[in-house]
Each structure stands twice: as C-alpha cells, then as structure tokens.
Amino acid sequence: MSLTFEERKKTILEQLLRDEKVQVFGLAERLAVSPETIRRDLDRLEKEGMLKKVYGGAVKTGTHIWEPPFSQRTQINKAEKEAIGKLAASLVKENETVMIDNGTTTMEVIRHLQGRSDVTIVTHSVPVMLLALETFKGDNHFAGGEINAALQSAGGALAEQTLQQFKVHKAFISVGGVSLVDGITDYDLHEASISRKMIERAEEAIVLADHSKFGVSTFCRISSLQDVSMIVTDRGCPEELVRQFREKSIELLIAEQEGNG
C-alpha cells in the first residue's frame, strides 16, 4: 500500500530537520514512489512554507512566517496533540491554578481536565474558553481584550493587564517553533507577547509542541529555552534532537499515543 501525502510529508520533514536538505531520488527510493511524486510533494511543501526547492531536491527555509488557520491546524498531527494534551493535564496537581495559551494543542489539555473541579484555569483563547464552558467543572477566568477573529483569541494591553493580576502554578504555552538556536518562537507578535506574560506569571512554564515544531524558527521570539520549565512533545520528535536538548539540560517529556505503549 502506497503512503499518503501526510505520511510522506512526515518523512520528508524529519529528514530535512536532521540533514537540512533532501534529494528527490533518495526520497523516491526510500518512500517507494516515483521521482515525479516527490517533486509534487516538494512543490506542495514549498507553497506551505515548509522548505525551499533547489536543483535536485530541497533545503530548510530560514524562518517560517505563515501559520495555517486555527480550524485547519486542529486536523494537523491530531493524534500527537491529543497525546501531548493528556500528558500535560496529568501534570496538574490537586487545587492548582493554570494558564492555558491559545492553540490547538493546548485545547487538548482542557479535554483531559474536564472532570477536575479542584482546578482553576485562566485563558485568553476563545476556543479554549468555549470548550471549558461546555466540559470543564472548575473555575474558568477569561483574560479579555481586543478579540482577533483570525487568531480566535484576546490580546493587547487589556488582556496582558488581566493576566498580570494572577500568579499561577503552571502555564501551558503554545508555540510556532522550538529551536536550539532561536529558542521558543511564534508567528504573531501579539500572541508571543501574551505567551511571555503567561511565562512571567507562572511558577512553571510548560511548552506543548508536537514534533513538527522542532528545529523551526518563526517570526516572533517568545523566550529562550532556559525560561521554560519543560517541553512536552510526542514520539515523532527525532532522537537526535531529543539527545541534543537533554544534553543542554532541557527537560523533555515524550507523550505516547494510544496503542503505542
């Protein structure tokens, strides 16, 4: 059975992350497809801003400046995000207060906290707030401000002033990229500013990032890696990157998907 585009994409991006370049004929042989299929895949990934095509293959792009819409992102690496959210929720202790950033992975935390009436959450994310209103049994505080319809979140000075009023045990942070060179980054300046404020107001800042975020640098810097307590990711994160992060004393937790042990 031939691999789907998403399956080929995962292999291509993992090799690109590891080697910083890929070659058409090498990928065609590895994935048992035609060179024409690989060229079409590279065309598609270039349009998504994931790589830059060069003669005979492709190389990593320098900085990612575009992110798919929220509704589209909910379907990307869905199983991995669910596993990350479940593991992250298990870190919340009895009677703790938590801030939840705006993101499709952080939404999964709420799904796994829904029975925790002892927990208090603070968020600026409209989707997180709406999901919490439906399923969450604990106290729910919304950091309101200027609502960005595209991002589906509140931002600006008013939202940051609201967050300033709280001091919480944990903040679950959504990111656009995780890089040993550039640290924690995001696509939007206002979202990055809110994430920084959450890190500042939390005893522990926990980054939730599926494997596709590693080795990626996006437009706006949130913080250095040393400013966060740990990173929760999935089994798809390349072992070499896991080793490099741990060598720098950056704590990584690896979430296991259902059925994968």
pLDDT, tens digit only, all 261 positions of the chain: 678 888 898 889 888 877 778 999 999 999 999 999 999 999 988 876 677 888 899 987 655 545 555 555 555 678 899 999 999 999 999 999 999 999 999 999 999 999 899 999 999 999 999 999 999 999 999 999 999 888 899 999 999 999 999 999 999 999 999 988 889 999 889 999 999 999 999 999 999 999 888 888 888 999 999 999 999 999 988 787 888 888 889 999 999 987 654
Query: Which phi and psi angles does 18 have, rounded to 5°?
Result: -80, -45
| Total domains, the chain | 2
Query: Quick one: 153 and 211 in the same domain?
Result: yes
117: exposed, middle or buried (Cβ count in 10 Å: 0-12, 13-18, 19+):
exposed
Q: Where are the beta strands (DSSP E) in the chain?
A: 21-23, 52-54, 57-59, 97-100, 120-123, 139-142, 146-148, 153-155, 168-174, 177-179, 183-186, 202-208, 220-223, 230-234, 252-255
Query: Which phi and psi angles does 11 have, rounded to 5°?
Result: -65, -45
In angstroms, the CA 124 to CA 52 distance is 35
The one-letter code for the residue type at 170 is K
Phi-psi region of 87 (alpha: psi -120 to 50; beta: other; left: phi over 0): alpha
Q: What is the DSSP letter of 165?
A: T
Query: Quick one: 78 and 45 in the same domain?
Result: no
Residue that has been written with the tokens 């040393």 in this structure = 226
Residue that has been written with the tokens 């307590």 in this structure = 229
What CATH number corresponds to the domain at position 134? 3.40.50.1360
Query: Quick one: 88 and 31 in the same domain?
Result: no
What CATH number corresponds to the domain at position 15? 1.10.10
Query: Quick one: 115 and 207 in the same domain?
Result: yes
Query: Quick one: 34 and 155 in the same domain?
Result: no
Query: Quick one: 75 and 19 in the same domain?
Result: no
Query: Quick one: 88 and 200 in the same domain?
Result: yes
Contacts of 23 (CB under 8 A, 6+ apart): 56, 57
Query: Which phi and psi angles does 165 have, rounded to 5°?
Result: -75, -10
Residue 65: inside a domain: no
Which of 13, 28, 59 marks a domain boundary? 59
- List the domain range (segments joined by +) for residue 118: 70-255
Query: Quick one: 98 and 75 in the same domain?
Result: yes
